[in-house]
Structure 1
Amino acid sequence: MSQIDDIRMQVMWNRLISVVEEQATTLLRTAFSTSVREAGDLSAGVFDREGRMLAQAVTGTPGHVNTMAEAVPHFIAALADEEMRPGDTYVTNDPWKGTGHLHDITMVSPSFLEDELIGFFACTAHVVDVGGRGFGADGKSVYEEGIQIPIMHFARAGEVNRDLLRLLRANVREPDQVIGDFYSLAACNDVGHRRLVEMLEEVGLPRLDPLAEFIFSRTHAAVMERIAALPRGQWSNDMLTDGYDDPIRLAAAVEITGDRVNVDFTGSSPVSRWGINVPLIYTKAYACYAIKCVVAPDIPNNAASLAAFTISAPEGILNAPRPAPVSLRHVIGHMVPDVVLGALAKALPGQILAEGAGALWNVHISARPVAGQPGRRAEVLMFNSGGMGARPGLDGLSATAFPSGVHTMPIEATEHTGPIIVWRKELRPDSGGEGQYRGGLGQIIEIGPEAGHEFDFSAMFDRVTTPPRGRDGGGSGAAGVVELDDGTPLKPKGWQFVPEGRRLVLKAPGGGGFGDPAARAPEDRARDLRRGYVSRKPE
């Protein structure tokens, strides 16, 4: 391939990334659920005919993007006996073939150019309700957690599957929002397809195959170069998370060889009887993300970059078999990067950030009028974040969703969806771990029902009994707290009740510190005090 051809292909690669960005923007602008529209809890990407991911949208979460990379081949295998046609769209929320729990809807659409299959577009999004017990850890099997949609047609040759829509309406609490999101997902793929066809016709390329070969060969070479610069060997780490009623142990052994990085989770806890289990597809997604953050953060994410990382786990909390309950797979799954990074910190001392809050402090609220009072019912999902761990050379980011990467949801948008009031949302002083570089702060959120209303809420919080640990001499971040405004302690997981006149108070954990606290610069300490990040001078 000549230099001119290389330049041409690079331009087309950049165009392809723009295509999937527009694909994701379509979903953001048309979604009904606030978790998608405001928080960006989604993914979008384009795949070749074999189901290999070529490009992903920057908007989205690692848990969605990297599981979607494995999900598309599951669709192709399941539909092997089907005749794919223009206008087809397929859907599933299978936790083991999609993104790890029933609340995430994955849609895949074949892309045709002059009646020849050239690739696929795929997208995922978290919908507000899938029926069952609701978004929580209380189910004892996946059968209790909501409606299950096997890989099937959402639309056949452009004709929407009305039977599926009727089933959805009969099984979910917010049918208009959920079905609206299904249409948004389908539209998202359709926009990607149209833009891809326009690009290929403009440049006179009849298939994606030459561009795919260029993308994969360049990505593979770049990743191999980065792995070659790493030390060789094996390093281990373990950590505890709160679990549901018993602590959960996560263990990881990271092995770096000549051409790959392998992570094995042998030694992690067995399957839980509660809905905090993680299907292997989701464990892989966040383990790969952790490695990529260290090894190749600036290399585009696609099938070739992910192929350099192999993930294994025995049956257990991080490789939960069907029909284990998995609704809150993100709570434990978001801890996977910290346990992997802890092992990499031994391979690359002084280069890896401290532990952070990890799991999002999401709260799902089911609000209703008090008996005999007028009012409205609503399902409200609110995303909140604790602090990130301090980094080598930099303080941790406060109230930041790492590793998930979702946005903070505006209070106005949250209050608009249901009869609740967010009375308080502010940074939590003194929550960042001490160190030469301070851990990021958590936040305090106070939520109450409107007058004449009450609500049940699903607690899905961690780092309440096991705070984030510091690194290289840094102190631990503050543990989280869940309580009512009168001081009544509440459980960090499970459905619970907030009556009219009371408020739910969440104090999200702070990130761990990095380095010896005695080495923190005096001007940094003075700035912390001046900004209210700490409440007093250190003794």
Structure 2
Amino acid sequence: MAVTNVDQRAGWAREGVRMAIISNRMESIARKMQNTLFRTARSGVLNTAHDFSCVVLTADCELLASAESLPIHTLIGPDIMCRTVKKYHPELQAGDCFLHNSPYEGDSHAADHCLIVPVVDEGGTLRFFVLAKAHQADCGNSRPTTYMGHARDVYEEGALIFSAAKIQSGYQDNQDLIRMCRARIRVPEQWWGDYLATLGAVRIGERELLQLGQEVGWETLEQYATGWFDYSEAKMVEAIRRLPSGKVTVHSAHDPFPGVPDGIPVKVDMTIDAENAKITVDLTDNIDCQPCGLNLSEGCARTAAMVGIYNGILDHSVPANAGSFRRVDVLLRENCVVGIPRHPHSCSVATTNLADRVSNPVQRAIAEIAPGFGMADTGPIMPPAMGVISGKDPRHGDAPFVNQIFLGATGGAGTPVTDGFLSIIHVGNAGLCRQDSIEVDELHHPLFVRRRSLMADTEGAGTFRGAPSVYAEFGPIEGCTMEVLYTADGTVNPAEGAQGGGPGALSRAFKRELDGTLTGLPACHGVKLAPGEYVVSHSSGGGGYGSPLHRDPARVLHDVLEGWVSRERASDVYGVVLVEDGITLTVDEAATARLRAGLAN
């Protein structure tokens, strides 16, 4: 009997339903992995700040599912790492697990320990990979920090680096590697707990995928992956074709830093070919790797460009996976500071500072080619309130402590339709890392937080403004000395606005002395604090999108009432006249119209 159009449509509908169901199952598996890691990890950087990611990849090393993982961790890099595992271990078996953190072979930076498990069925066939990436409190660096911005090379950085090292065979630990980590890492019991949490995450992912394969069949899952990638590519095609074609060059720059006294300029050449639904980001015309820890790993360089694209197209229905990646070309070259690093150049800070100086101009480039799309710059990060604290805790017999804190960073960029996200922290994590609870930080560490608050008049002004800066002040408790190491960008080069929007405020760092006076601190520094001394951190504000004179006066009034914008700035920058009747503050619409007309001229 001939197949009718009705039969065809019914078949397509069934395929669509099946794809949606399996897609949700895959995302739920990644989410179960994340929940396991979050609930069982010991480090505050994991169980408070949520600085980790869990993904599922096909046997061909293509990214399939990532749930709410950090984009800078997962878009590109897991594929390279899984191919590295296959390269060094061509015969993969059930029970294998690999520890990998080499920035020269796909990982982001040495602080991100990845556990990779091949999902092998009962017949011995490789079906999937699961990968969990967890930022460590300490990774064996030569100083107690996971961000060695001043390191001239990987030797000065000092981290333990593992290249697809088999840490489990037959579900049993390789005690040689375990002893190596426990001997070199400053907080060995904390690392051990985080290792077990990460291991639990990948083993749960393995278990769930094996169960799913038994339920629906491995052939069905292969068909699903093919169809899901094709669907994702089609969604990206639709998104790109909503943009106009164009080509633009956008510049950014990282601040001066140890090893790079003139800073690091970044040039992004972007081409949007709407007709052929392709976007090309060319990063090849940039300087060579530099004698500092800011060099990007290949995973971070490619991913940073992709982050800017996914932000800029403003279509959150496009799945971020290997299918939609097909429509984007990121061009890199070897031995480039924003390309493919050569050993022994250090990539210690690869996930944040310079990566953001790639993502931000990419999303600004989209705004230049396609007004109404793209974004302004998210604020540069890593002020002292995102530093790594270390010392000895007098509350626990002077036991050593090391941990990164997330006590104060906002940075959200203005977009064509929204104000900057107050707690995005930085463009590469998309708001999925979390601001620390003051109470939890003070419970876990010998730390006193004196103040944390938003700062007035620090937002990038715009039709949609950037996020204001955060003020944070903290120091050690009585009987304790503490070192705070940080690698701040944005002290010289602010977050730029887009389409006429203004820049965000600069980042600042100070030490409050015992007499209460403030001493300015360098951008990349390790400050030692005695009881009664504090470090003061000003995070960067986010850039604004569109002219501030076009901002809805009601939004300006809201910001004034919240204390984020002063009445003077409302008038001078936004052209909004506010009047007070003794009880309430309101917008004088006629006076505002006159003032804006004058300011526009």
Does 1:431 pair with 2:455? no
Equivalents in 2 of 1:259, 1:284: separation in Å? 19
Distance change in 2, residues 1:374/1:214 (3 Å): closer
* Cα deviation digits, residues 96-142 of structure 1 (max 9, x gap): 22422110011111112223321111111101111122322122211
Q: Structure 1: where are the runs of 5+ without partners?
A: none
Does 1:342 pair with 2:364? yes
Map 1:325-364 onto structure 2 (within 5 A): 325-329=346-350, 330-361=352-383, 362-364=386-388
Equivalents in 1 of 2:246, 2:294: separation in Å? 32
Percent of residue pairs bearing the same amino acid type: 26
What amino acid sits opposite 2:327 in the alignment?
A
Map 1:351-430 onto structure 2 (within 5 A): 351-361=373-383, 362-368=386-392, 375-383=398-406, 384-403=408-427, 404=429, 405=431, 406-430=433-457
Does 1:222 pair with 2:235? yes
Q: C-alpha displacement at 1:399, in angstroms? A: 3.9
Aligned 8 A contact 1:28 1:37 in 2: yes
Q: Residue 281 of structure 2: SS of its match in structure 1?
A: strand
* Counterpart in the other structure of 1:144: 156
* Cα deviation digits, residues 497-521 of structure 1 (max 9, x gap): 2233210000011112222223333
Q: C-alpha displacement at 1:229, in angstroms? A: 3.5
* Counterpart in the other structure of 1:182: 195
* Counterpart in the other structure of 1:536: 567
* Counterpart in the other structure of 2:206: 193
Q: Residue 377 of structure 1: SS of its match in structure 2?
A: strand
Q: C-alpha displacement at 1:360, in angstroms? A: 4.4
* Counterpart in the other structure of 1:86: 94
What amino acid sits opposite 1:424 in the alignment?
R
Distance change in 2, residues 1:205/1:327 (3 Å): closer
* Counterpart in the other structure of 2:270: 254
* Counterpart in the other structure of 2:302: 284
Does 1:495 pair with 2:526? yes
Equivalents in 2 of 1:71, 1:531: separation in Å? 46
**Range moving further from structure 2, 237-246 or 56-65:** 56-65
Q: Residue 416 of structure 2: SS of its match in structure 1?
A: coil
Q: 2:121 aligns with which of 109, 113, 119?
A: 113
Q: C-alpha displacement at 1:267, in angstroms? A: 3.6
Q: C-alpha displacement at 1:198, in angstroms? A: 2.0
* Counterpart in the other structure of 1:57: 67
Q: 2:503 aligns with which of 476, 480, 497?
A: 476
* Counterpart in the other structure of 2:577: none
> Rg larger in 1 or in 2?
2
Q: Which runs of 4+ in 1 moved over 4 A?
A: 204-207
What amino acid sits opposite 1:351 in the alignment?
F
What amino acid sits opposite 1:280 in the alignment?
E
Q: C-alpha displacement at 1:463, in angstroms? A: 0.7
Does 1:124 pair with 2:148? no
Aligned 8 A contact 1:72 1:108 in 2: yes
What amino acid sits opposite 1:478 in the alignment?
A
Q: C-alpha displacement at 1:71, in angstroms? A: 2.0
Q: C-alpha displacement at 1:164, in angstroms? A: 0.4
Superposed CA RMSD: 2.1
Equivalents in 1 of 2:79, 2:453: separation in Å? 36
Equivalents in 1 of 2:448, 2:553: separation in Å? 40
Equivalents in 2 of 1:231, 1:437: separation in Å? 22
Equivalents in 2 of 1:49, 1:178: separation in Å? 29
* Counterpart in the other structure of 2:328: 309
* Cα deviation digits, residues 1-23 of structure 1 (max 9, x gap): 83324422331122111111111
Equivalents in 2 of 1:441, 1:272: separation in Å? 32
Aligned 8 A contact 1:378 1:417 in 2: no
Aligned 8 A contact 2:380 2:540 in 1: no
**Range moving further from structure 2, 65-74 or 51-60:** 65-74
Q: C-alpha displacement at 1:242, in angstroms? A: 0.8
What amino acid sits opposite 2:57 in the alignment?
F
Distance change in 2, residues 1:151/1:170 (3 Å): same
Q: Residue 196 of structure 2: SS of its match in structure 1?
A: helix
What amino acid sits opposite 1:495 in the alignment?
G
* Cα deviation digits, residues 288-336 of structure 1 (max 9, x gap): 1211223353222211112321212333221232211121122111222
In the superposition, the TM-score normalised over structure 2's length comes to 0.85
Map 1:146-161 onto structure 2 (within 5 A): 146-161=159-174
What amino acid sits opposite 2:531 in the alignment?
E
Distance change in 2, residues 1:64/1:422 (3 Å): farther
What amino acid sits opposite 1:237 in the alignment?
V
What amino acid sits opposite 1:251 in the alignment?
K
**Range moving further from structure 2, 322-331 or 268-277:** 268-277
Q: C-alpha displacement at 1:369, in angstroms? A: 6.8
Distance change in 2, residues 1:205/1:393 (3 Å): closer
**Range moving further from structure 2, 461-470 or 51-60:** 51-60
**Range moving further from structure 2, 444-453 or 54-63:** 54-63
What amino acid sits opposite 1:398 in the alignment?
L
Q: Residue 104 of structure 2: SS of its match in structure 1?
A: coil
Q: C-alpha displacement at 1:364, in angstroms? A: 0.5
Aligned 8 A contact 1:40 1:60 in 2: no
Equivalents in 2 of 1:395, 1:229: separation in Å? 23
* Cα deviation digits, residues 257-306 of structure 1 (max 9, x gap): 31421111134343221111111221111111211223353222211112
* Counterpart in the other structure of 1:27: 37
Aligned 8 A contact 1:261 1:310 in 2: yes
Equivalents in 1 of 2:151, 2:520: separation in Å? 23
What amino acid sits opposite 1:32 in the alignment?
R
Aligned 8 A contact 2:311 2:375 in 1: no
Q: Residue 483 of structure 2: SS of its match in structure 1?
A: strand
**Range moving further from structure 2, 186-195 or 239-248:** 239-248
Equivalents in 1 of 2:501, 2:549: separation in Å? 10
Distance change in 2, residues 1:374/1:90 (3 Å): closer
Aligned 8 A contact 1:286 1:336 in 2: yes
What amino acid sits opposite 2:445 in the alignment?
G
Q: C-alpha displacement at 1:197, in angstroms? A: 2.1
In the superposition, the TM-score normalised over structure 1's length comes to 0.94
Equivalents in 2 of 1:348, 1:149: separation in Å? 43
Does 1:68 pair with 2:78? yes
Equivalents in 2 of 1:260, 1:222: separation in Å? 12
Equivalents in 2 of 1:250, 1:293: separation in Å? 19
